[in-house]
Structure 1
């Protein structure tokens, strides 16, 4: 999955040792003179100013060893199948996952925490932050010991440069949240001031404080264009080590990392080396795991999980197979229908395509009953709309009644349950009727419009296992006269075509933060991102009504109103059917060679094993991996 960057709203706690944690503080009531050590949405911070480490880590975890793994999620322009750039922060190209661990951010970053609070950040580069009266200006006091890997100091000038660069040229997930930033000023070497227009969401700042900070000096001498495989100068706990173009990358732990003893880092980043190998086919990666060349993987293919974890190392007890609870965050997995192409702009066409997916047959025959049907863009969370709209939801929806589908005012739209036969005649008949109503009528083996054009629908995929799952869907579409095909391309072409919106149908999976922000919504659903290359708005949604509901998400002043706004948005998204929801799993299916230590239970809001786990010499020796 490609998760979206972090956080949300503001409340806080005092950072000076002499000032106690502020109880039940609301954003509007936060004293402007207070230097805050952390920011949280809708409530108190869990950790006081003098905390020693996060509760979910082992502060005494030993350092050492190598962690060779297959990343289960990734960010920005990253890919797990290949890479052709080491710049993860530009719109184009394929970067290797986990490049973000080479960079520090103003406050805790997108990977490591805090993972036991739904909506908080704590100072990393920034020791404290102070708010202006109007909450449009944020002043950060940087830690004087912060430095880049070449030993040069990391200053407010680097921070100001980074935010201006991202606003102009960054990946959409960096660029969009900065749209209302009007200035980034280095007041002096250790003081950064970020200024916003007043049109930003109140929670925008908790997104941007997690952005990686780059070296101004480095980019004064090097282009910010993603070309080549030259490592960028970073400041984080790891730096790029050995690189085999397109095949493997190693991140080496920085022994003298300036921030290693900060409370936000203690007990984290324990491996001396993190290695990622790239395989064009999922089966090849699985074979590497079976041989012990890869040490950890999360299994995303139900058939493999059910039938193929019976290799010798499993039988010998050298490999552990288990499930970990999923995070308490909304998740989305769906097929995007590209409405930049005229034939998909009629909702009836999108609905007909959706009716051809027989989930019940797929679940039984291909998924070994391991997945459930997804219905929402905010699955597994309180943000998912259920039943009829509440009075509070109707307050948001009623002013938009003439602009949104009428289905948004009834029971929350759900995809119909099939008879499980693989070719449900009732659903396919309904799909044929919808196509006819939309002007696509049978003309021989295919349907055609008034111009004699057939209805062509192509699934774009980069994975043979996904192509296998989609085949029955494609065959049902062909049965009702849609010229449906599946095109499998290599990772580089897939990434490029997705960034340029050159596809008919494509799948995307991601998880939101536990407290979704307007910035998160904009990248996926807002008019502003509809034609921004590299944005996650794959269907090209450009609807003023959706934009208004996203603004309501941004205005939410407490968690109750946020839940209401996201549920109202969910109702309209489901009624529009820009995204066809498909399936989800309730847990992480993980397998790993028994050579690691970790603290249980896992935290509720993240699972970065490469950052939290550690190498156990005794366990490794017992299985011959010492």
Structure 2
């Protein structure tokens, strides 16, 4: 799964940030999609053997699936361990989301359809929709039945038959039928957001078999763990879509069946999600103990400072801080001093995270790896971290930072054996010590690094003319850094100065939220910053979204760099067919080595914790899940606390 938060200073999309979160999340989020509607204790069925897709007995109804058969929860479990069934219901949770998916935008919105490519939808529309199966946030890759009480694999393991729960209902009271489910999959394959369409490429058929059985059939060319992504897709009412359409042209939410539905809203200003009191799945195991707030509200602030001022005044109740300077110096206001607002660190998730600058190789000037390395030498992390970020961050080097898939040192014998298959094809740098980002002297203008950058540019055919580099065709070397907030100007001043010092005509362009998202989706930029959070067990679906040649020309995907490399493609396919966690780990470490040697991105930095501030009127379980943190689903309102600080 991928979730995304566009940023430049430490955040997550579930994503770090420059000093802001900007758009996926990875897809928590590459999708596998993290729908927050949870439910599904099921029929008494055996636990899966170690390799679910290779070894499980076909024709047997299953209550859950995982990548390698490791299910924590038995059939009929009462609730997830990290859930809080005893928590009270009620109250409003007004917060500023730190991650979002698909066409969602945290700065504005003009549509309530979050599952198409066009338009800007508000974050958290996904909580209005149920899916066949849902994730367990305390397991790396397990899913359990929600709309589906069981799933049965065909003999060739390319077909999946889901038996629906008879009590499942849409918000208008109509039943969720197999026809609705099949319709939804066919609809998303034809008209859905590219991040939803791509995992359905090899879906040959979605069909209803009576009112309660739906069959998904794949070609056999799909990733072996593809179903873990696809089973989490939103399900819509066929009758509603046929009457109202499925596009971004209107502010009408598609009818769903999830624990929340859209309440009051004003386009571009705020949206409220109202808890469905008679939610059909509220007593089912995976749904029990979640979704405690009566109302979840998101206000939209186009200016980051305005959003912070709203939090200080108490208009916003919960905020994850992605700006080190603000965290260090800005939290000194009356509500902090008298204890009404609490600052805290919450442990981060055990998921790989990629955050950095992306150079668009669809632009001619960035196609040479030597150019990309030269640009990376101009970014002085040591100076930036000390002078702007209060030494809050650690330097990132990997595309799988903070995970066991991160390559380190020399290749292991297992890694070397796989790498040797690509001798003469993969960059030579991939075969030695894992490539790391350059270390500077911390001056902000390291002469050795800049000298090396000039040398690389010369080798790549760029020569100075009137103080600016030109190639042999006489084309001027320009680099426009596209951002959506003026805070980037301060943060990237040193970087821009270094680029100009070596002869690159570098500039930073600030555009509004809608234009930024439109240009990002269309790959209309030289360089942007982006954070993407992957699932704990990355699958080919999510990896393809960022790195596969198949997505390099598909607008709306996460392949911002335009990566199109047969070696990368093959490694992603090998990862998708891995039959054990050890095999997957070796493959992803090799993929990490190749990607780092290609220098498609410039990894920036990471933070191990969430920096959270909130008005002291909430309760929460200390048993935080390791793999996802949907605060709006896990926390709850405490009336007495709210009264004590004047918020009741």
Q: TM-score, normalised by structure 2?
A: 0.93
> Which residue does the alignment assign to 2:113?
87
Correspondence for 1:150 = 172
Q: Which residue of 1 aligns with 2:81?
A: 55
2:97 aligned with 1:75, yes or no? no
Structure-1 separation of matches of 2:129 and 2:498: 48
Q: How many residues align?
A: 617
Cα deviation digits, residues 179-230 of structure 1 (max 9, x gap) = 1110001011100100001111110000011111111111111222211211
Equivalent in the alignment of 1:617 = 639
> What is residue 43 of structure 2 aligned with on the other side?
16
Partner residue, 1:344: 366
Q: Does 1:39 align with 2:65?
A: yes
Q: Match of 2:526?
A: 504
Q: After the TM superposition, which parts of structure 1 deviate over 4 Å for at least 4 consecutive aligned residues?
A: 22-26
- Contact persistence 1:322–1:590 (CA under 8 A): yes
Cα distance in 1 for residues equivalent to 2:448 and 2:404: 33
Aligned residue for 1:159? 181
How far, CA to CA, are the matches of 1:43 and 1:400 in structure 2?
Answer: 31
Residue 361, structure 1, aligned to residue 388, structure 2: no
Structure 2: stretches of 5+ with no match in the other structure: 1-12, 14-23, 35-39
Where 2:332 maps in the other structure, the secondary structure is: coil
Report deviation, 1:388: 1.3
Task: Identify the match of residue 515 of structure 1 among 526, 537, 548.
Answer: 537
Give, in whole Å, the separation in 2 of the partners of 1:7 and 1:460: 27
Structure 1 residue 44: deviation in Å? 2.6
- Find the aligned partners of 1:569 and 1:21 in 2 and give their Cα distance: 32
Shift of 1:391: 2.1
Quote the offset at 1:24 in angstroms: 4.7
Q: Tell me the residue number matched to 2:55.
A: 29
Secondary structure of the 2:286 match is coil
Alpha carbons 2:380, 2:444 under 8 Å: kept: yes
Distance across 1 between alignment mates of 2:489 and 2:136 = 37
Q: Which residue of 1 aligns with 2:279?
A: 257
Aligned to 1:380: 402
- 1:94-173 aligned at under 5 Å gives the runs 94-108=120-134, 113-173=135-195
Paired position in structure 2 for 1:404: 426
Give the SS at the match of 2:358.
strand
Offset at residue 166 of structure 1 (A) = 1.2
Task: Kindly indicate whether the alpha-carbon contact (under 8 Å) linking 1:553 and 1:565 is maintained by their aligned counterparts in 2.
Answer: yes
SS in 2 for 1:36: coil
1:66 aligns with 2:92: yes
**Are the aligned partners of 2:49 and 2:56 in contact in 1 as well (CA < 8 Å)?**
no
Separation (CA, whole Å) in 1 of partners of 2:291 and 2:33: 22
Do 1:248 and 1:278's aligned partners in 2 also have CA atoms closer than 8 Å?
yes
**Deviation at residue 394 of structure 1 after TM alignment:** 2.4
Does residue 550 (structure 1) correspond to residue 572 (structure 2)? The answer is yes
Partner of 1:579: 601
| Preserved contact between residue 479 and residue 527 of structure 2 (Cα < 8 Å) | yes
| In 2: Cα distance, 1:227 partner to 1:571 partner | 43
Q: Which residue in the other structure is 2:345 paired with?
A: 323
Q: Deviations over 1:81-130 (max 9, x none)?
A: 1111111101122110000000000001xxxx411111100100000000
Q: For residue 354 of structure 2, what is the aligned residue in structure 1?
A: 332
Q: Is contact 1:7-1:120 (8 Å) kept?
A: no
State how far apart, in whole Å, the 2-side matches of 1:76 and 1:227 are: 16
Quick one: distance in 2 between partners of 1:510 and 1:546?
18
Shift of 1:418: 0.2
In 2, Cα distance between equivalents of 1:26 and 1:531: 34
RMSD over aligned Cα atoms: 1.4
Does residue 530 in structure 1 map to residue 556 in structure 2? no
State the secondary structure of the residue aligned to 1:294.
Answer: coil
TM-score, normalization by structure 1:
0.97
- Write out aligned runs for 1:237-256 (5 A): 237-256=259-278
Instruction: Return 416-425 or 34-43, whichever deviates more.
Output: 34-43
- Tell me the SS of whatever aligns to 1:466: helix
Q: CA deviation at 1:381?
A: 0.2
1:270 maps to 292
Cα distance in 2, alignment partners of residues 469 and 383 from structure 1: 30
Equivalent pair of 1:90/1:171 in contact (CA under 8 Å): yes
